[in-house]
Chain A
Amino acid sequence: MTQAFRTTSGGRIDRKKAINFTFNGQSYIGYEGDTLASALLANGVHLLGRSFKYHRPRGIVAAGAEEPNSMVQLGEGATTEPNIRATQISLYEGLKASSVNVWPNLELDISAINGLFAKIMTAGFYNKTFMWPRSMWMKLYEPVIRRAAGWGKAPAMGDPDIYDHMHLHVEVMVVGGGPAGLMAAMAAGRAGARVLLVDEQNEFGGSLLSRKRQIGGKDETAWIADMVAELEAMPDVTLLRRSTAFGYYDHNYLCVLEQKTDHLPAAERKGKVRQRVWHIRAGQVVLATGAHERPLVFADNDSPGIMLAGSVQTYVNRYGVLPGKKMVLFTNNDTAYEAAIDLQAAGGDVVAIIDCRTEPTGELVDAARALDIEILAGHAITGTSGGKRVSSVEVRKIQKGAKVYTTIERNIDCDLVAMSGGWSPVVHLFSQSQGQLEYDEEKVCFLPGKSRQAQQVAGALAGQFSVKECLAGGYKAGADAARATGFTPKRKPAAPEIDEPAVGSVEPYWIVPSSRPVGEGMAKHFVDLQNDTTAADIELAVREGFESVEHIKRYTLTGFGTDQGKTSNINALAILSGILDKPIPKVGTTTFRPPYTPVSYGALAGRNLGDWSDPVRVTSIHDWHVKNGALFENVGQWKRPWYFPKQGETMQEALNRECLAVRNSVGVLDASTLGKIDIRGPDAAEFLNRIYTNAWAKLGIGRVRYGLMCHEDGMVFDDGTTARLAEDRFLMTTTTGGAAGVLDWLEEYLQTEWPELKVYCTSVTEQWATVSITGPKAGAVLEKLAPEMDLSHENFPFLSFKEGEVAGINARIFRISFTGELTYEINVPWTCGLALWKAVMAAGAEFDITPYGTESMHILRAEKGFIIVGQETDGTTTPQDLGMDWIVSKKKPDFIGKRSFTRSDTARPDRKQLVGLLTETPDDVLPEGSQLVFDPNVPKPIPMAGHVTSSYYSAALGRSIALALVKGGHGRKGQKIFAPLDKRTVTAEIVDPVFYDKEGDRLNG
């Protein structure tokens, strides 16, 4: 509450804007510009959580995306988020966070006793321990492990926040807004390219936010501000802050997560988009993703207060926070010295620099000496004490090549250990883009090698570790990218004078021995802090035969988790290289995969939720159906009325009423969803002859015919009626779900197989709304609506159509039937569908006209034995299987599927064939999908005879009916068949599939 560790001045925080927040229930104050991590450190809070496996106290290690610890549960209720790292949370008023993986609380964690059993919790522990007995896994092991090792808690409610997606095309995308990225964006922007610059931080500047530099006579803040101002003034340059490029895919397609409101107090977020995923297509990509510092692997290197040196420098310079007041620096390179110098300048005390190099020299080393900081060269930290906060370190002289360092040189009291094992370029996106990595012995890191995509690399990623190199490298990358996308870069500006210390040298030092060999004794050399993986675990894994780096990763968990091993991967493989005695490049790296940092499911889903998870297609009559109590069924993307229950009716009662209305008077169906295709051209009839199984050449103008379509394999894939509008013109109807597929099918054949046919197809599905009136009174209804029209059966016979006005609307009326009753399908322009429907309802009122839905439609057609493609067929059903041999032409020279009907398998007599079933007990309605057997009493497994495809209660027949595909069914009529269900076996008789009006007398009303 006092911010005792805040410096008196400086930093990029706004000290006038205090922010209240709580951590584990305790209230604190930070400043605008803080992260949760920097605000906690300002308040002297280092202990943030407990480790994954051993429940050791853990604190903040880094200042950015590489942070392995400091996971917190952020927020409450529906918007709570688990396992967010404190270094990635911008502080906002009212923020509430708590530790994860602690029980009962952070200070007193019972599971820390795990530490005492550490010897058995080594690599592969879970794989080895919880294998047997299997039944114990669900009951005991998993719940206990989840309690002990689980991290935060997922919210129990739906996510109330808004997420969306945006697509952006640019010539040059720059990832990373440090000195190199800013310069690259500037070069490309000045050349005139459309540029996108993204950076995960709340402000641009990258490393310059942490390090003080004079650039061209300006301090770093002024230089960044000038660069950003110029970029912002360019109309085709897009700058995205708080935006992480998390995935880099083929063809320079990248995904970026922009956090738009996560830094705002809850009240200011309302109604706004919380996070946006940007889908970027870039001509060229400039990767300027910087570098992460590596920890050093020494004994008990995991206590709170042991941090990365560069991150200490960030907390001092960027946030005005002293992470400690008595610091020991442990390093293998020069750059880390700057952290010590800056901490000392900000009021901290650097008690010693432990440098593993025997003779460190250079500008920064001299500067530290000049400040009277003691430098212990050729020494190493070999142990720490303190537990919940580091309180001292044990320092020994390095004995080159030894497995054990024998003499304790010093014990140094401290409250902060800054460590630096050198810098690892952030190659993640480069590697995701399939670029190859090359190991650089001098810089002790992997650098981008061969690119696989149109891209440039710049800055620390490319091994350019000084600002001077970054500016030059960034400019070149941006200019090259602009040139590659067709722009001419402006003349290169003169390089500015930069005041910065020389980078100096780095010496690899992958593992620090202590008084006993690594893995012996109680000391732990942590490699992966998030997964509690130690150097000893890697050694053990190798001893057990896991030598591939990918196996090591999976066996020891190194590199998993929310940080994806950003601080541990390189150390792990360097240690592996030492154990295997193979050079690092030969060991290789694990695969870098998206996402670079975690992305919430909400962001990935965007707006494609609920009603928008898939388009909802509605007819022009839809709202009438809703108003009149219809329940809906999804058919493809369509909402179709399923049935229209009246108050108090059960589903079956409603269906009985609807079906009987059709059989006894008149019913009405919204059939607008059927696909409709206009087919026109001199070869249209020939085309249909080849597409359908039956003959079309002689169909008279004004007449309609039913047709089946098969794929080349002879299997039915769509059906419908087609009318001949003119000599050279047909109107085809398709199933509701099949419309788009059929049009594609027709076009494919026209364009690739039969280009000689002069035929054009045009989808007209939504030009026509279709109202189908059916039943003995259908004619009487239509007569009222179209008094001028001659509806006599002579002039308007079954399977013909007429054009004329119905209810004052220009219409096409088709006499076809899917119910077996007299039916008129009236087609009017889509937008007049509702007007027609209302007119039909009014005209039919005296006959109690009854709207019905898809379920009654299914019953009515099943009573007549009419198939539904996709219900009676499943892609393995031929017309002959369906008993529809009558529709397969024997005379046509060819049509699609013809050849396949003579294949031995298609022609064999015991194929599954369509039959009707009548259950022994008339009220018994078989479940659709029921398996059928010829003899239920033979030993199991009983040979399957077929399955039920459709099954209903038929009110017209007063009993149940079913359709089924049965092996050799056509020859088995009159035989019994059995459906063994859960608790009983239903007996049925195989019958003809036409149950109602076999003679077809009812078609004419």
Chain B
Amino acid sequence: MAETEFWITPAAAIASAFPDGLTELSPRAQVNLRGDAEDASFMTAVKTATGIDLPETPNKAATGKEFKALWLSPDEWLLVGEGEAATLVQNLEGALKGQHFAVNNLSANRTIFELSGPHCHHALMKSSEVDFHPRVFAPGDCLQTLIAKAQAIVEQVEEDRFHIYVRSSFSRYVGAWLAEALAEYRLAD
């Protein structure tokens, strides 16, 4: 059966009232991978399994065919995509057999908000101390920070479009916070 058949996140209950520019994305595969980036056999095996050259530059995302990989730390990535998480886990387990690594299907661990439109930067400025100005942060960049007071991964997917990955238990808090951050612009527009 489809794993996501019963899926519901805490944010779903408030998502229908989100203002323009904020949505909760439908569930997608999220697989956490840890391994040694300096070990060529690890990198090659991942490339074989996913087609992705794992980013070694901090806070960069690399895109493959079915999945992209977000750099989380020198030995940790989050693979995200529309494909089947279980298959991806299986492929990685197979390709990396005998090596030292860790792979975990975390598709339910975080929900993803999409923040977009002319006021997405304003909402981020209200929610984070990080500099998301286009001169500093561009499509293909990602990082881990706090959104309000909750841990999050922020990824820019295109100009004026961000994906914000939030742990499920915090998703209602963050969803409501971001909706409120956009409220004044709805009033103005």
B108 touches A831 (CB 8 A): yes
Q: Which A775-796 residues have C-beta < 8 A from chain B?
A: none
Cβ of A261 to closest chain B Cβ, rounded Å: 11
Stretch of A178-186, A210-218, A616-624 with 4 or more beta carbons under 8 angstroms from chain B:
A616-624
Q: Which residue of B lies closest to A639 (CB)?
A: B169
Would you give the 0/1 interface string for A838-879, flagging 1 where the beta carbon is closer than 8 Å to chain B? 000000000000000000000000000000000000000000
Is B66 among interface residues, defined by CB-CB distance under 8 A? no
Q: Is A229 an interface residue (CB 8 A)?
A: no
Q: Is the CB of B170 within 8 A of A620?
A: no
Q: A766-B167, A829-B108 are in contact. Are A272 and B100 (CB under 8 A)?
A: no
A interface residues, tally (CB under 8 Å): 53
Asked if B34 and A619 sit within 8 Å, CB to CB, the answer is no
Instruction: Collect the chain B residues with CB atoms within 8 Å of residue A638's CB.
Output: 169
Interface residues of B in 35-52 (CB under 8 A from A): 35
- Interface members, chain B 117-162 (any A CB < 8 Å): 122, 125-126, 128-131, 133, 135-136, 148-150
Q: Chain B contacts of A836 at CB under 8 A?
A: 6
* Residues of chain A within 8 A of B110, CB atoms compared: 766
Mark B50-66 against chain A: 1 for CB-CB distance below 8 A, else 0.
Answer: 00000000000000000
A194/B135 contact (C-beta < 8 A), A618-B169, A618-B172, A834-B8 known: yes
Residues of A within 8 A of B15 (CB): none
Known contacts A612-B148, A616-B172, A764-B109; A831 and B102 CB within 8 A of each other = no
Q: In chain B, what residue has the closest Cβ to A681? A: B100
* Residue numbers in B under 8 Å from A618 (CB-CB): 10, 169, 172
Task: Tell me, yes or no, whether B105 is within 8 Å of chain A by CB.
Answer: yes
CA distance in complex: A832, B3 (Å): 9
Cβ contacts under 8 Å, A236 to chain B = 133, 135
B residues near A608, Cβ cutoff 8 Å: 149
CB distance from B146 to the nearest CB of A (A): 10
A615 CA to B131 CA, complexed, in Å: 23
Tell me if B168 is interfacial: C-beta within 8 Å of chain A: yes
B101/A767 in contact, CB under 8 A = no
**Other-chain residue from A167, A615, A765, A810 in contact with B149 (beta carbon distance below 8 A):** A615
B6 adjacent to A831 (CB under 8 Å):
yes
CA distance A763 to B169 in the complex (A): 13
Q: Cα distance A344–B51 when bound, in Å?
A: 83
A617–B174 Cα distance when bound, in Å, is: 10
Q: Is the CB of A830 within 8 A of B149?
A: no
Which residues of chain A have C-beta atoms less than 8 A from B89's C-beta? none
Asked if A831 contacts B8 (CB within 8 A), the reply is yes
Q: Are B167 and A762 in contact (CB under 8 A)?
A: no
Residues in B with CB closer than 8 Å to A150 are: none
Residue contact A615 to B150, C-beta cutoff 8 Å = yes
Residues of B within 8 A of A165 (CB): 126
- Cross-chain contact of A272 among B7, B148, B187 (Cβ < 8 A): B187
> What 1/0 mask marks residues of chain A from 510 to 542 whose CB sits below 8 Å from any chain B CB?
000000000000000000000000000000000
* Residues of chain B contacted by A758 (CB below 8 angstroms): 100
CA distance A761 to B177 in the complex (A): 30
Quick check: A762 and B6 within 8 Å, CB to CB?
no
B186 — nearest CB in chain A belongs to which residue?
A271
A830 touches B108 (CB 8 A): yes
Complex alpha-carbon distance, A194 and B136, angstroms? 11
Contact assessment for B3 and A829 in the assembled complex, using a CB-CB cutoff below 8 Å: yes
A768 to B109, CA, bound (A): 8
Closest residue of B by beta carbon distance from A618: B10
Residue of A nearest to B107 (CB): A829
Q: Please, which residues of chain A bring their CB within 8 A of the CB of B75?
A: 760
Complex contact B184–A620 (CB within 8 A): no
Assess whether B100 is in contact with A762, with CB atoms less than 8 Å apart: no
Report how many A-B pairs have Cβ atoms within 8 Å: 134
Of A622, A682, A766, A808, which one neighbours B109 at CB under 8 angstroms? A766
When C-beta atoms are compared, the residue in chain A nearest to B174 turns out to be: A615
User: CA A619 – CA B168 in complex, angstroms?
Assistant: 8
Q: Say which residue of A612, A620, A681 sits within 8 Å of B10 (CB atoms).
A: A620
Known: A279-B129, A612-B173, A831-B168. A762 touches B34 (CB 8 A): yes
Q: Is A281 an interface residue (CB 8 A)?
A: yes
Residue of B nearest to A767 (CB): B109
Among B9, B148, B173, B177, the residue within 8 A (CB) of A617 is: B173
Please name the residue on chain B nearest to A617 by beta carbon.
B169
How many angstroms from the CA of A614 to the CA of B146 in the assembled complex? 13
Query: A169 and B136 in contact (CB under 8 A), knowing A273-B184, A618-B10?
Result: yes
Interface residues of A in 720-776 (CB under 8 A from B): 758, 760-769
Q: Give, as a whole number of angstroms, the nearest-CB distance from A836 to chain B.
A: 8
Judge if B180 is at the interface, Cβ distance under 8 Å.
yes
Are B100 and A169 in contact (CB-based, < 8 A)?
no
Whole-angstrom CA separation of A831 from B32 in the bound complex: 17
- What residues of chain B lie closer than 8 Å to A263, measured between beta carbons? none
A370 near B: Cβ within 8 Å? Answer: no
- Whether the pair A680, B102 counts as a contact (CB closer than 8 A) is yes
By the criterion of a CB under 8 Å from any partner CB, how many residues of chain B are at the interface? 51
Contacts of B10 in A (CB 8 A): 618-620, 622-623
Is there contact, CB below 8 Å, between A831 and B4? yes
Chain B residue nearest to A672 in the complex (CB): B169
Cβ–Cβ contact B149 & A614, under 8 A: yes
* A615 near B170: Cβ-Cβ < 8 Å: yes
A612, B169: Cβ atoms closer than 8 Å: no
**A678 close to B (CB within 8 Å):** yes
Residue of B nearest to A678 (CB): B104
Indicate which residue in A681, A682, A766 contacts B168 across the interface (CB closer than 8 Å).
A766
Contact residues in A for B170 (Cβ distance below 8 Å): 615, 617
- A605 on the interface (CB 8 Å rule)? no
**Which chain A residue has the least Cβ–Cβ distance from B129?**
A167
> A766 to chain B: which residues have CB within 8 Å?
108-110, 167-169
Complexed CA–CA distance, A413 and B75 (Å)? 84
Contact with A along B83-102 (1 / 0, CB 8 A): 00000000000000000111
Residue of B nearest to A162 (CB): B184
Whether A443 is near chain B, meaning CB under 8 Å from some CB there, is: no
A620-B168, A829-B108 known; A760-B102 Cβ under 8 A? yes
* B19 is an interface residue with CB less than 8 A from chain A: no
Bound-state CA distance A616–B168 (Å) is: 11
Within 8 A of B (CB), among A221-250: 236
Q: A281-B131, A617-B170, A619-B169 are in contact. Are A762 and B102 (CB under 8 A)?
A: yes
Flag if A616 contacts B173 (CB, 8 Å). yes
- Judge whether A168 is part of the interface by a CB distance below 8 angstroms: yes
A254 to chain B, nearest CB (A): 13
Q: With A and B bound together, what is the CA distance between A194 and B35 in angstroms?
A: 39
Q: What's the nearest-Cβ distance from chain A to residue B96, in Å?
A: 11
Bound state CA distance, A835 and B130, in angstroms? 38
A164 within 8 A of B: yes
Residues B1-43 near A (CB distance < 8 A): 1, 3-4, 6-10, 13, 27, 32, 34-35
A 610-654 binary contact with B (CB < 8 Å = 1; else 0): 011011111110110000000000000010000000000000000
| CB nearest to A606 among chain B residues | B126
A271 to B100: give the CA distance in the assembly, Å: 55
Picked from A167, A272, A611, A830, the residue with its CB within 8 Å of the CB of B184 is: A272
Given A236-B135, A619-B169, A760-B100, 13 new contacts (CB under 8 A): A167-B125, A271-B187, A615-B150, A615-B170, A615-B174, A617-B170, A680-B101, A760-B34, A760-B35, A829-B7, A830-B168, A831-B9, A831-B27
Q: Which residues of B contact A (CB under 8 A)?
A: 1, 3-4, 6-10, 13, 27, 32, 34-35, 75, 100-102, 104-110, 122, 125-126, 128-131, 133, 135-136, 148-150, 167-170, 172-174, 176-177, 180-181, 183-184, 187
19 contacts between A and B (CB under 8 A): A169-B133, A236-B135, A271-B183, A612-B177, A614-B149, A617-B169, A619-B10, A620-B168, A760-B75, A762-B104, A764-B104, A764-B109, A766-B110, A766-B169, A767-B106, A769-B108, A829-B7, A829-B108, A831-B9
4 smallest CB-CB distances across A and B, nearest first, come from A835-B6, A760-B102, A617-B169, A169-B131
